[in-house]
Amino acid sequence: MDSKAQPEKLPDTVAFQDKFTRKFMVSPKEVKEGYYLFRSRTGGFTMWFPKDAKINNGFYEKHDKYFESSVIAGVREHENILYTVDLIYENKPIMNDIDINLFLLSSGAYADYDGKYTKIESDEKTIYFAKKENDISVDNKKNIEHLFFGFVKSNHSHQGVLFIYGVKCDDATQSCQIDVNKEEELAKMLMKSIEFHD
C-alpha cells in the first residue's frame, strides 16, 4: 500500500490509520473477517494481520532480504486485553537446523521455556509449537501473561519465522477474562496463515 494514501479513504482501523503499519498491508480488503494480508518488507512471507493492531516502528529491523524483525501490538479495549506478536524472519541455511532455532526460541531472550514442542506439518511448512504462562503480577495486581510461540519453517527453502504471541490484561487494576483455548487457536491460526515467497 502507498503510505501517502489519504487516511480518510482507507478503512477506519488501527492497521490502516497507522502510517507505518499501512506500508505492510497488501490491500484494504479483508482476507478473513477482522484480518488483512500483511507482506514483510523483505517480500519473504505474508501473514494474516489483525485489523486492531499496529507494527511498532521503534522495534522494526530489516537487513537486505535475509532478515526482518517486527513487533505487532494490539488492544481489545472492550475486553481489557493487550496482545503482541513478535516475528523474526530469516532466509539463511542456519534456519534448516531445527534444534538451534528451537534452542534460540526457548532461550531467556525469547520465550524462556524448557519444555517440548508439538509438530504441526503441512505441504508447505512445518510448525513447532509450544505455550507457557508467566506471572507478571505487580503490587498485588494479579496479571498472567499467556505465551503461544513457535518456529514456522518452510519445507522448500531456508526460510523460517520465530513467532511469539503474548496476551495479558491491558490494565492489571481491572480484571480481564482471557479464554486461553481461544487465544491458542488464534495464535495457531496466525502461524498457519504464514506463507513463504521466494
Domain ranges of the chain: 54-196
159-193 pLDDT, tens digit each: 999 999 999 999 888 888 999 999 999 999 999 99
What would the mean pLDDT of 120-141 be, rounded to a whole number?
Answer: 93
Of the two residues 1 and 105, the one the predictor is more confident about is 105
pLDDT at 85: 98
Query: Span 14-42, mean pLDDT?
Result: 97
Residue 137 has pLDDT above 70, yes or no: yes
CA gap 101, 160 in Å, rounded: 9
Q: What does the pLDDT read at residue 139? A: 82
Percent of the chain exceeding pLDDT 90 equals 84
Per-residue pLDDT band at 194 (split at 50, 70, 90)? very high
The reported pLDDT for the residue numbered 6 is: 62
Predicted local confidence at residue 145, as pLDDT: 93
Q: Which three cell numbers stand for residue 162?
A: 520465530
Domain 54-196, CATH: 2.60.120
For residue 164, give every residue at least 6 positions away whose Cβ sits within 8 Å of its Cβ, in sequence order, or none: 84, 85, 86, 105, 110, 111, 147, 148, 149
- Residues pairing with 134 in the sheet: 145
Cell numbers placing 56: 511498532
Distance between CA atoms of 115 and 189, rounded to whole angstroms?
22
Q: What mean pLDDT do residues 89-103 have?
A: 97
Q: Provide the residue type at 32 as one letter.
A: K
Adjacent-strand bridge partners of 90:
67, 160
Q: What is the pLDDT of residue 173?
A: 86
- 101-130 pLDDT tens trace: 999 999 998 999 999 999 999 999 999 999
pLDDT beyond 90 at 7: no
Nearest alpha-carbon partner for 193 in 78, 26, 28: 26
Enclosing H/E stretch for 50: strand 45-50
Q: What is the mean pLDDT of the chain?
A: 94
With 0-12 CB in 10 A as exposed, 13-18 as middle and 19+ as buried, what is 167? buried
pLDDT computed for residue 198 by the predictor: 84
